[in-house]
Chain A
Amino acid sequence: MSTIAFRIRARRRGGRLRPAWRQPLALAGSVIAVGWLVVAIFAPFIAPHDPLAQTFAPSQSPSGAHLFGTDELGRDVLSRVIYGSRVSVPVALLLVSLAALIGGLVGGLAGYFRGLVDGFSMRVVDLVFAFPPIILAMVVAAVLGRGLRNAALAIVVVAWPSYARVVRGLVLSVGDSEYVESARLLGSSARRTLFRDVLPNVAGPVLVLATLDLANAILLLSGLSFLGLGAQPPQAEWGSMVADGAQYFQWWWIGTFPGLAIFTAVLAFNFLGDSLRDLFDPQTSWGGGDGE
């Protein structure tokens, strides 16, 4: 019967990645995110002026010469927004990686060893979760002292527990899964299955969480700077620029443009995180059967 050729009527299912135009949010997210990265890297070449130079007439409204206008000290707002990306984006990346690393390690150990290790580390996590993040970050930043570095550390302190909890939960559930049990019966040690079967299944969700968290980190960092606990003047930082602008309401451009920068960056990482979640979830790849 194998000689009977049969043609395929419909097209084969494509690879796992859907074309970008079917995911407009993912596309928008990655374009904006990459855009901000490029701006951050090439800021000195893109920015028309020195962000710190108080060389222009103060408080000019947006015009051809100053697209975003100038601030109350006569600095070019566009250049400051561009240089501001050099603070927010890389610092957010760095502190989220650090938080993911610390949280992942704690959660991984808790899930792997269980028992006392688990109990202790999860109580610490609960403790951190008991405070609203911005309040805790403020307290930590205030204790460590003003400044960008301390603000970033404060955010790491607030951010790591969510990774610990996610990683612990995944390590526990994947560790109890039948495929890990099978691998154990086939002679793999617990440590071996941890690296072969468990951690690869943890990586996806952690990456998703981290991407979504980038948005949070940018927001928190700006928030702390807004409150005067983060970047110190005259450094160009979006949050402190918004704080500046808030004092001069009649000159709306001073606060609005950095605000928009925060908004677009946060939105971009949120979009990106959401679409990554879809990508990593095997359930969303289209099945086509029924009754299963």
Chain B
Amino acid sequence: MEILKSATAGTLESSDALVTVEPGEGIELELSSSVINQYGRQIRATILETLDRLQVQNARVTVVDKGALDCTLKARVECAVFRSCGKSASNIPWGGVIR
């Protein structure tokens, strides 16, 4: 998917993450997390895998993590990407690229 415009998803509540995607060159990930020392690598891997699954090749991605589970991180990244393409409201490929 191509990141057409800047979009965000999520919140700064505990167990959540705020994800922002913007148009960019290649994948540029800026991550801050309340549990960066414990889970930083895992969080980064989950975000990058999700972007890869959605075939996002060019994006500037900012994630402020507040201790989100992997399933929440995935949901927030996916929603931000679909929002940036204006496709988040209907006909989502549940079980396809969303899995």
Bound together: no
Which chain B residues have a beta carbon within 8 Å of chain A's beta carbons?
none
